[in-house]
Amino acid sequence: MARLAFVLACALALLASSVASGAIVEHSFNVNNLTVTRLCQNQSITVVNESYPGPTIYAREGDTLIIHVLNQSPYNITIHWHGIFQLLSVWADGPSYVTQCPIPPGQSYTYKFNITGQEGTLWWHAHISWLRATVHGALIIHPKAGRSFPFPKPAKEVPIILGDWYNGNVVDIEQDGLSKGIAPNLSNAYTINGLPGDLYDCSQNQTYQLSVVGGKTYLLRLINAALNTVLFFKIANHSMTVVAIDASYTTPYVTDVVVIAPGQTTDVLVKFNQLNGSYYMAATPYASADATAVGFDNSTTRGIIVYKGYTSSTPIMPPMPNPSDTPLANKFFTNLTGFPGGPHWVPVPREVDEHMFVTVGVNLAMCPENATCQAIFNSRLSASMNNESFVTPTNMSMLEAHFNNVSGVYTRDFPNEPPIKFDYTDTNLSLDLSLIFAPKSTKVKTLKFNSTVQLVYQNTAFLAIENHPMHIHGFNFHVLAQGFGNYDPINDPKKFNFVNPQVRNTIGVPVGGWAVIRFQANNPGIWFVHCHLDVHLPWGLAMAFEVENGGTPESTLPPPPPDLPKC
């Protein structure tokens, strides 16, 4: 009997260890081209597993993901796991030429990483050129077995991926804009789960439809995968309760509209308690920039929610916001708060080791010799952070250079503040030739392991004032405050929320305004920081953090995997 008890105890211990360490979740991603029909024409697009959007990955907190990527497309490819911390697995983060060289056509690479201290809605996408327009999918992280959501269990969970559609090859569209030095063509439609909806030509039968049971509450996991557009999202006659953003729980917030920037996710509970019927869900652009200065795709995508048992074919349409309704967008973004005491809540670090003030915005670059540039002043459009316009290396990834201590790939002198102080939001300076040209460089800011960083993002009025969604790889951050105009270092800190600030990985810096974030650099490696408007990324609106090792095996970057692609 004693031996039986011992064996049973060992078995239970092994089971507990297995549950604690999580499961292995393994997928194969075959990247190839697929011809689909949208907006009256056939179009070849790059996809994963012949699916647009790509497959949804489901995992639990603590699981290890192993994703085998075989590139059968004609383009170089990388995959980024947007919002995953990648603790000691930065080699799997995915931004091209930052943490890895791209996977060439015909070759493969295996991404392997653990999901530590995270649950909620994230997503994966290509991180090279504009391929993420069609190479993307949801990454849903459930609580560990035996744990539950910090809200009533929904009857069903539904990923809702908001995207955009281009009539043409997105790689060619991007390259055409870059070659001319101007903004590329605008999108031709927005999409819900890959379908444009019945307001677009030839799209009557390409409208996403969701069947619901009256009286039940559903969890809609919203993801903005659009390349360049912040979106308003509404459901006719239904309110939504926001319970998480960027895989971080929030204090429940009831709203009839969600504002979501490229890269962001928002989880909402919707109780379908209206009369049996059919209702449109719809998304339209929030165009923060002056429409006369920056064009945008002013159209609407919509899907249909149908109560089971209802047969009418005339859905109710919600009234949609004006595309330039900045007060509405600001109300949504600033009313969100964190959920202290909830799963994975981390209090705000109070002692700051590194203070940074970083201007972000669109700039100009000189036209190369023997080139034709069509931007203003015969120049080409550019972008910068602290007047440094980022250029990715081409012969080696920055992470490899960091690990092997190779010089000449990047420099460690990214400035803590802009080189010249001026009235950053004064539109009279928007074409000041002494300010709007930024040098090209590949610079990082080096951080001590476990140091706390406070970063003030300050939008500028150069060329076009707009909302910039800024994403930091490898970390979540607390949003302490945000506002319009120039950041006031004397009075604005009085507004800091140290009690329940929202926690994000992507922050929409208000149009003509600022945002203050704070995070702890507890993850060694090279971490990309960039605007998630893909029109601005190749222009240079980016930089990187180089986080040093911490001196212990648990805080030291491991060597690269043997199949890491080479440049």
Task: Report residue 561 as tokens.
Answer: 């995997």
| Whether 258 contacts 232, CB under 8 Å | yes
Identify the pLDDT of residue 291: 52
Angle at the Cα of 59 from the Cα atoms of 92 and 25, rounded to 5 degrees: 65
| 156-335: CATH superfamily | Cupredoxins -  blue copper proteins (2.60.40.420)
Q: Assign residue 22 a region (left: φ > 0; alpha: ψ between -120 and 50; beta: otherwise).
A: left
Considering the segment(s) 354-555 as one domain, its CATH architecture is Sandwich (2.60)
CA neighbor of 456 nearest in space, from 416, 427, 414, 408: 416
| Whether 184 contacts 173, CB under 8 Å | yes
Angle at the Cα of 143 from the Cα atoms of 138 and 146, rounded to 5 degrees: 145
Would you list the domain boundaries of the chain? 24-142, 156-335, 354-555
Which residues are CB-contacts of 117 (< 8 A; sequence separation ≥ 6)? 61, 85, 344
Per CATH, which fold does 24-142 belong to? Immunoglobulin-like (2.60.40)
DSSP of 204-264: TT---EEEE-TT-EEEEEEEE--SS-EEEEEETT--EEEEEETTEEEEEEEES-EEE-TT-
| Whether 286 contacts 262, CB under 8 Å | no
Identify the pLDDT of residue 467: 87
On the question of a common fold for 156-335 and 354-555, the answer reads yes
CA neighbor of 103 nearest in space, from 175, 163, 48, 50: 48
Identify the pLDDT of residue 294: 64
For residue 288, the one-letter residue type is S
CA neighbor of 415 nearest in space, from 436, 438, 387: 387
CA neighbor of 360 nearest in space, from 441, 294, 455, 442: 455
pLDDT tens string, the chain, 567 residues long: the values are 344 333 333 333 333 333 346 999 999 999 999 999 999 999 999 999 999 999 999 999 999 999 999 999 999 999 999 999 999 999 999 999 999 999 999 999 999 999 999 999 999 999 999 999 999 999 999 999 999 999 999 999 999 999 999 999 999 999 999 999 888 999 999 999 999 999 999 999 999 999 999 999 999 999 999 999 999 999 999 999 999 999 999 999 999 999 999 999 999 999 999 999 999 999 999 997 765 456 789 999 999 999 998 887 799 999 999 999 999 999 999 999 999 999 999 999 999 999 999 999 999 999 988 888 988 888 999 999 999 999 999 999 999 999 999 999 999 999 999 999 999 999 998 899 989 999 999 999 999 999 999 999 999 998 878 889 999 999 999 999 999 999 999 999 999 999 999 999 999 999 999 999 999 999 999 999 999 988 888 999 999 999 999 999 999 999 999 999 999
Distance CA 548, CA 402 (A): 9
What is the 3-class SS of 146-191, one letter each residue? CCCCCCCCCCEEEEEEEEEECCCCHHHHHHHHHHHCCCCCCCCEEE
| Whether 58 contacts 22, CB under 8 Å | no
Verdict on whether the full-model pTM lies above 0.85? yes
Strands 440-441 and 389-390: parallel
Identify the pLDDT of residue 371: 82
